[in-house]
């Protein structure tokens, strides 16, 4: 099942190459600003699609589409892999409230798609944009080097909330979704998100809220204990 790994590696180059165009489309700051300005933006569409994507594909967005997930995967893992406090639901909950509350209170009064990119349609077109890009990129690089691969995704990223909401919707309606399934008499233990894969296999319990479908456990497993398929 190495195809997931190969597809992911090929996508990572293109995702990072085009981040100068796409960065603002994934900006948590701009979507909050748009909501407070009563403006429907391209970010509202994209983050809505993230929820819909999570309904059917779980956390796979983080593995195959997110540029900063791709950045972290390309960095060496130099940490001791100690666990940090998990702030994802806290940061994501605050983020979601800041987006939704202004919409509930005031609604939308105008539409600007794309937002803050009316002239160039790309995200990095000025010195200010370049500085912002490097601040974000270098911060994530330093966090990853200091605390371990995918630390930003595992403990901090506010956009995790969209995966969480989408996964909960899929479970509530019992919709088929992309999952990794296991044979409980076999096991492996390799996960970019720090999940206890061996224990999950043994008990046939999968924490799909945090699983990003990266395929690393499938690639490392020598016993063919894991498979990926559509299932309720």
What does each of the 232 residues of the chain score in pLDDT, given as a tens digit? 444 545 555 666 677 777 777 788 888 888 999 999 999 998 999 999 999 999 999 888 888 888 888 888 888 777 655 678 889 999 999 999 999 999 999 999 999 887 776 566 667 767 777 888 888 889 988 988 888 888 899 899 999 999 999 999 999 999 998 887 766 555 556 677 878 887 777 777 766 688 888 877 777 776 677 777 777 6
Residue ranges of the domains in the chain?
Answer: 3-175
Quick check: helix, strand or coil at residue 117? coil
Q: How many CB atoms lie within 10 A of CB 153?
A: 27
Residues 6+ apart with CB under 8 A from 46: 25, 26
Are the beta carbons of 152 and 143 closer than 8 angstroms? yes
Q: How many CB atoms lie within 10 A of CB 98?
A: 17
* Residue 2 vs residues 25, 148, 206: alpha-carbon distances, Å: 31, 24, 20
The pTM (predicted TM-score) of the whole model is: 0.74
């Amino acid at each position: 099942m190495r195809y997931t790994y190969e597809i992911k590696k090929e996508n990572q180059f293109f995702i990072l190459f085009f981040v100068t165009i796409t960065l603002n489309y994934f900006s948590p700051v701009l979507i909050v600003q748009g909501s407070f300005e009563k403006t429907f933006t391209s970010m509202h569409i994209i983050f809505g699609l993230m929820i819909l994507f999570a309904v059917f594909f779980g956390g796979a967005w983080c593995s195959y589409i997110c540029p900063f997930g791709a950045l972290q995967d390309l960095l060496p893992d130099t940490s001791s892999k100690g666990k940090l406090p998990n702030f994802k639901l806290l940061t994501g909950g605050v983020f979601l409230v800041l987006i939704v509350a202004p919409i509930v209170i005031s609604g939308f009064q105008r539409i600007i798609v794309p937002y803050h990119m009316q002239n160039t349609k790309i995200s990095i077109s000025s010195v200010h944009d370049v500085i912002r890009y490097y601040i974000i990129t270098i911060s994530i690089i330093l966090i990853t080097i200091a605390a371990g691969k995918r630390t930003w995704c595992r403990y901090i990223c506010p956009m995790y909330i969209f995966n969480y909401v989408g996964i909960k919707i899929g479970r509530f309606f019992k919709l088929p979704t992309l999952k990794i399934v296991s044979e409980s008499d076999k096991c492996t233990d390799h996960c970019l998100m720090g999940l206890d894969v061996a224990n999950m296999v043994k008990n046939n319990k999968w924490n799909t809220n945090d699983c990003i479908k990266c395929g690393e456990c499938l690639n490392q497993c020598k016993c063919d204990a894991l498979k990926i398929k559509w299932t309720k």
